[in-house]
Amino acid sequence: MINGVLFDLDGTLLDHRAAADAAIADWLAARFPGHPRQAEAPALWAALEGPYLARWQAGECTVQEQRHLRLRALCRELDVPEPGPDDLDAAYADFAARYRRSWTAFPDAAAAVAALAGSSGPALGVLTNGTQPMQEAKVRAIGLAGPLRTVLTGEVLDGHYKPSPAAYTGAAAALGLATEEVLLVGDDIVRDVTAPAVTGMRSVWLDRLGVEEAPAGFPRITTLAELPALVASLR
């Protein structure tokens, strides 16, 4: 029986990719107007995101250092001057401000969460791999802080990030539930779908793009509008 639902945040509730793409394009245009590779910046920035975040989550660098490293790597790729040591924080803060201004919930997010919320509904929360302050700010910005009061990142789960098994067991414990009672909803096949199964946690793949094969044995939805009925069938 499912007594708790955990949502991934970026790519599931919040359109992170659109926000990050817009922010880095604006950042480059402001610093280097007319750059010939302007259109490539979002894809380049997206490609750098995973590897540098993984280094931070593995403890190889601080979150501030990974931000600096990622920004420098982008500048090298675009063949533009890298921010100097005294300008790195300000340069990243400029990008971050543009990113925050672009935070938007997916159109199906609020209704799905509202349909699950309530005294007789499952416990609700967010399990995400970002930094705690930023992810909490995102949930507030997209208007879901009421029903989604529990926001869990590796920073409050003893340094355990998805796909570490301890991230899932710790998240279930934070809801006061066994892993078998929790359903994780997310767009990443490994972090949100197959990895939780090792701990007994249930999962459902949110396949918004329809560009990958669905993992065998796991439920798949293409919109969060389908989630309430799925949860009801599992309760």
Average pLDDT over every residue of 38-46: 97
Instruction: Please name the residue that has the structure tokens 């990030």.
Output: 161
- Copy the structure tokens of residue 223: 């919109």
Residue 235 has pLDDT above 80, yes or no: no
Instruction: Tell me what pLDDT residue 210 has.
Output: 84
Query: Which residues have CB under 8 Å from 8's CB, separation 6+?
Result: 126, 127, 128, 184, 185, 186, 187, 188, 191, 192, 206
pLDDT tens for 112-169 read 999 999 878 899 999 999 999 999 999 999 999 999 999 999 999 999 999 999 999 9
pLDDT tens for 65-81 read 999 999 999 999 999 99
Band of pLDDT at residue 61, cut at 50, 70 and 90 = very high
Asked if residues 204 and 227 have their Cβ atoms less than 8 Å apart, the reply is: yes
Query: Whole-prediction pTM value?
Result: 0.94
pLDDT tens for 182-210 read 999 999 999 999 999 999 999 999 999 88
Average pLDDT over every residue of 223-234: 95
Band of pLDDT at residue 214, cut at 50, 70 and 90 = confident
- Identify residue 23 by its one-letter amino acid code: A
Residue 212 has pLDDT above 90, yes or no: no
